[in-house]
Structure 1
Amino acid sequence: MTGITNLNQFRKQKARAEKRAQGDANAAKFGRTKSERDLETARKEKDRRDLDGHKRET
């Protein structure tokens, strides 16, 4: 015979595994690497500096 199985624990374990799988799928679909985020931040900062450099004094 097998041991006693707690169905509540089994249900919760299955739900956690499904959430983890969904999270991994979302990370692959929508996630960006740290280098991509840093590159975007640097580009935005450079664009802001370039735009501010073209402003006229009033």
Structure 2
Amino acid sequence: MAELVNLRQFRKQKKRQSEEKQATENRILFGRTKIERQFDDRKKQKTDGFLDLRRITRDKDEE
């Protein structure tokens, strides 16, 4: 005889597996470590500071 399968449990198990697979893919695509985020933040701050120091501003008196 064939083994009986509870369809409700089977569907839940299949859904869990697909969600775990999706979560794994998202970790690969979007996941970054804390160190990587801090590095990017400091790099952006350094770039913004560099640009701010070299910004050309015009006084209203000159116009």
With the length of structure 2 as denominator, give the TM-score of the two structures.
0.65
Count of aligned pairs: 54
Counterpart for residue 39 of structure 1? 39
In structure 2, C-alpha distance between the alignment counterparts of 1:21 and 1:56, rounded to whole Å: 51
The RMSD of aligned alpha carbons is 1.9
In structure 2, C-alpha distance between the alignment counterparts of 1:17 and 1:11, rounded to whole Å: 10
Deviations 1:13-45 (A, max 9, x none): 2111221122213312x1221211111111111
With the length of structure 1 as denominator, give the TM-score of the two structures.
0.69
Specify which structure has the higher proportion of helix: 1
Counterpart for residue 12 of structure 1? 12
Structure 1 residue 5, shift from structure 2 partner? 4.8
Structure 1 residue 50, shift from structure 2 partner? 0.8
Q: Does 1:24 align with 2:24?
A: yes
